[in-house]
């Protein structure tokens, strides 16, 4: 996720999933310190993967798709090969650096809807300058810029600074989502959500000062373990559920849940990160965005949708944590076939008994319900239905939210500022150019970012 904080739309790095390796059910030792940044461990669940046709070849980080929605009828019923290919090219642009979300136009939908959106309360924030920080190393690179590990000269704490080049953000039509990310995070404060401490700009770049989360991605841990035992998956799913419930209470739909966007803190608890697709919505929205494996049927179908798409994605996440791959995963990169399978619904999904308890299977089916009106998290009792489900019976939600429960896995962290969970990147062309005065034609597009970068 860190590698995509500077570029949400590209594949960066090489993490593989080798399903031909073998593993035992108890091979994941929650108390065993394991380095996050190394190669995948020689473990596997090939028997389970073969049972549902999954688990062949390399499984790398998944980028997020972002384009205007196309109706299901166009791609599922068209017999015209050229039309099919054209639509496939439109939807498969997950690998493209030019992907973008085309959000609803306020004038087209009417100003009333904009006025009705929940009023988010901005938290107090500090005023930061480049001169406040010592830049340590690059944590990730992307099309928009870099993410750096920095240390404050004042309190000596470590932070992650996301640096975005304004010209590139404008060229790739990501202005709205950049502003959205800043505004959403400024209004959110929760133990399982990454914290935005401040933000500013200079003539060339935008800067966002965030938590440094040293344990790396849940994705990496999952790929090294191949799948999680039931109690481990339950722990992470419960914390993600609490984070989603908090966002929904603020009227925010997250829209890009996946293990790549869940980070592990030094204490093993999670931090949901990357709010580039998050949006404040009063009732419903209709933009196609997210990660193909995690898209709800109504998103693919260009129907209006609400916060229930996040609960659907939680069902996909639980399945992937328990099985090793998401339920509709396929080896060939044909998103039209993938979307057809998603529309067919969870009744076509295999649940090998060795990977799924009855309780887990039942909850996943209720979260992956094709009809949003019958989906857990979106009915009369809202998130209460999810939290009260039998699979979560032993969870003490108050203690968990207070981080009073020991995490099943503790990242190997060698002191404050240890970034060994992240890949090394060349530092040439990195921080040395920040703060230089350049021509600035785009600063007004980011009105909340104050000009403190050069002072």
Average pLDDT in the 97-116 region?
36
Rounded to 10 deg, the angle between the 230-249 and 308-323 helix axes is 170
Average pLDDT in the 439-448 region?
95
> Per-residue pLDDT for 359 more than 60?
yes
- Bridge partners of 200, per DSSP, are 207, 450
Q: Distance between CA 128 and CA 130 in Å, rounded?
A: 7
Average pLDDT in the 93-114 region?
36
Q: Which candidate, 202, 141, 114, places its Cα nearest to that of 166?
A: 202
How does the average pLDDT of the chain come out, rounded?
79
> Per-residue pLDDT for 443 more than 80?
yes
pLDDT of 59 reads 56
* CA dist 253 → 28, 117, 443 (Å): 33, 12, 27
How does pLDDT run across 319-338, given as a tens digit for each residue?
999 999 999 998 877 888 99
> Per-residue pLDDT for 4 more than 50?
no
Confidence of residue 259 (pLDDT cuts 50, 70, 90): very high
Residue 145 CA to its chain's centroid (Å): 19
Bind-site residues: 171
Q: Let me know: does 172 contact 222? Beta carbons within 8 Å.
A: no
Among 106-120, 145-159, 233-247, 416-430, which is the least confidently predicted range?
A: 106-120
Domains of the chain: 45-99+216-401 (1.10.510.10), 130-214+415-451 (3.30.200.20)
Q: Which residues are catalytic?
A: 256
Of the two residues 59 and 45, the one the predictor is more confident about is 59
Torsion-angle region of 202 (φ positive above 0: left; ψ -120 to 50: alpha; else: beta): beta
Confidence of residue 111 (pLDDT cuts 50, 70, 90): very low
Rounded to 10 deg, the angle between the 308-323 and 358-367 helix axes is 150
Q: Which candidate, 128, 251, 239, places its Cα nearest to that of 188?
A: 251
pLDDT of 123 reads 75
Bind-site residues for ATP: 171
Helix intervals (H) in 68-125: 72-76, 81-91, 106-109, 111-116
pLDDT cut 70: percent of the chain above it: 74
How does pLDDT run across 181-213, given as a tens digit for each residue?
999 999 999 999 999 999 999 999 999 999 999
């Amino acid at each position: 996720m860190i590698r995509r904080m500077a570029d949400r739309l590209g594949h960066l790095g090489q993490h593989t999933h080798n399903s031909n390796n073998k593993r035992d059910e108890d091979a994941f030792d929650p108390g065993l310190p394991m380095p996050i940044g190394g190669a995948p461990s020689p473990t596997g669940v090939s028997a389970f993967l073969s049972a549902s046709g999954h688990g062949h070849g390399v499984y790398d980080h998944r980028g997020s798709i972002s384009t205007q929605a196309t109706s299901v009828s166009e791609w599922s019923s068209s017999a015209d090969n050229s039309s099919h290919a054209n639509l496939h090219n439109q939807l498969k642009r997950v690998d493209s650096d030019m992907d973008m979300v085309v959000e609803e136009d306020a004038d087209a939908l009417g100003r009333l809807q904009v006025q009705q959106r929940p009023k988010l309360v901005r938290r107090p924030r500090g005023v930061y300058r480049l001169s406040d920080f010592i830049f340590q190393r690059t944590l990730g690179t992307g099309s928009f810029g870099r993410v750096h590990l920095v240390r404050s000269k004042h309190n000596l704490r470590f932070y992650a600074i996301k640096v975005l080049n304004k010209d590139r953000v404008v060229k790739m039509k990501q202005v709205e989502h950049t502003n959205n990310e800043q505004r959403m995070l400024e209004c959110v404060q929760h133990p399982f959500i990454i914290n935005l401490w401040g933000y500013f700009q200079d003539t060339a770049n935008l800067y966002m000062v965030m938590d440094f989360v040293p344990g790396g991605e849940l994705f990496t841990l999952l790929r090294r373990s191949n799948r999680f035992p039931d109690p481990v998956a339950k722990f992470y799913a419960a914390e993600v559920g609490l984070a989603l419930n908090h966002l929904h209470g603020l009227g925010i739909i997250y829209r890009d849940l996946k293990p790549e966007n869940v980070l592990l803190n030094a204490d093993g608890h999670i931090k949901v990160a990357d709010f580039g697709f998050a949006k404040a919505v009063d009732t419903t929205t209709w933009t196609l965005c997210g990660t193909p494996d995690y898209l709800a049927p109504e998103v693919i179908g260009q129907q209006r949708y609400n916060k229930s798409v996040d609960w659907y994605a939680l069902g996909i996440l639980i399945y992937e944590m328990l099985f090793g791959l998401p339920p509709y995963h396929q080896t060939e990169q044909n998103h039209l076939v993938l979307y057809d399978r998603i529309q067919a619904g969870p009744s076509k999904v295999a649940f090998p008994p060795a990977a799924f308890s009855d309780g887990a299977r039942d909850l996943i089916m209720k979260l992956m319900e094709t009809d949003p009106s019958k989906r857990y998290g979106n009915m009369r009792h809202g998130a209460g239905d999810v939290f009260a489900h039998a699979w979560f019976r032993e969870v003490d939600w108050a203690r968990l939210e207070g981080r009073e429960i020991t995490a099943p896995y503790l990242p190997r962290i060698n002191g404050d500022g240890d970034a060994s969970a992240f890949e090394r990147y060349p530092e040439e062309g990195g921080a040395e150019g920040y703060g230089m005065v350049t021509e600035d034609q785009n600063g007004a597009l980011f009105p909340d970012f104050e000009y403190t970068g050069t002072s």
